[in-house]
Amino acid sequence: MELIIAANWKMHKTVAETGDFCRFIRQSETLFTGVEVLICPPFTALATASAALKGSSIKLGAQNMHWERQGAFTGEIAAPMLLALGVEYVIIGHSERRHLMGEDDNQIRQKVKTALESGLKPILCVGETEKEREQGLTEAVIEKQLAGALEGLESGKISDLIVAYEPVWAIGTGKAASTADAESAAASICRYFLSNFGEKKVVGLRIQYGGSVKADNIGPYMVLPSVQGALVGGASLEANTFSALIQAARKAVIS
């Protein structure tokens, strides 16, 4: 299955910086063959990224969206607005939104549902806090987050879904999860899908690892049996660093 590597820029980059990044990264796109690469800039830079990536194989994602298609929701962005800009993916339920913005499972479920119905591919983020890990609750937390986000979802939609396993304690800390812990969590995600949506429907589901991924540590994650990509924050902000990371991932799977 093709790897999927996504750049999550969070609240970084102006329009001008986005244009520069996109023009630079597309020069190395022939080195990314076999890896699906996408960039998730802030909303304000989506139009610029869309224009700068036109004709390239690098895709565009958003970092969030509202579940309603339009309406009186000051400050929010709806799926049709993203689609009109050429956005294909949308990150949903990132831990910063869950923990800093108070997003709950109910909101996340509505967002996943609307994204899939609208033709956007959700990157659903799940992961435990350090305290939950210490209490041995990692698997239970992941299962609760998956159940909360996917309840009532039609199994036919699963192949459009990406799940990113991002332990909260590994995000932006330089303290990446061990490959054994990443595999164990990703395997528990696979088991959840197998028991809730049936084996056949699982075909096509991809699971990313996220949390302090860099060019020099990505390789071992990409060859884990249950992991097919990465969600990258800090190491995606410089085009040459991100390009090196994608090439390292590719090298790991082809070697």
Catalytic residues, by residue number, are: 94, 166
Binding of ligand PGA by 245 (CB under 6 A): no
Tokens coding 244: 């090196």
Angle of CA points 67, 57, 240, to nearest 5°: 100
Q: Which is nearer to ligand PGA, 87 or 157 (CB)?
A: 87
- Per-residue binding string, ligand PGA, 112-151, x by CB under 6 A, is ----------------------------------------
Binding of ligand PGA by 166 (CB under 6 A): yes
Tokens coding 236: 């995606």
Q: Which is nearer to ligand PGA, 78 or 235 (CB)?
A: 235
* C-beta nearest to ligand PGA: residue: 233
Binding of ligand PGA by 229 (CB under 6 A): no
Decide if 45 contacts 56 (C-beta within 8 A).
no
Decide if 123 contacts 88 (C-beta within 8 A).
no
Residue range at the interface with ligand PGA (CB under 6 A); choices 62-70, 115-123, 188-196, 206-214: 206-214
Binding of ligand PGA by 188 (CB under 6 A): no
Residue selected from 93, 122, 210, 229 as contacting ligand PGA according to rule CB under 6 A = 210
Decide if 7 contacts 248 (C-beta within 8 A).
no
Binding of ligand PGA by 213 (CB under 6 A): yes
Decide if 35 contacts 62 (C-beta within 8 A).
no
DSSP state of 7: E
Beta strand 121-126 with 229-232 is unpaired
Phi, psi of 44 (to 5 degrees): -65, -20
> Could you list the residues that contact ligand PGA (CB under 6 A)?
8, 166, 171-172, 210-213, 231-235
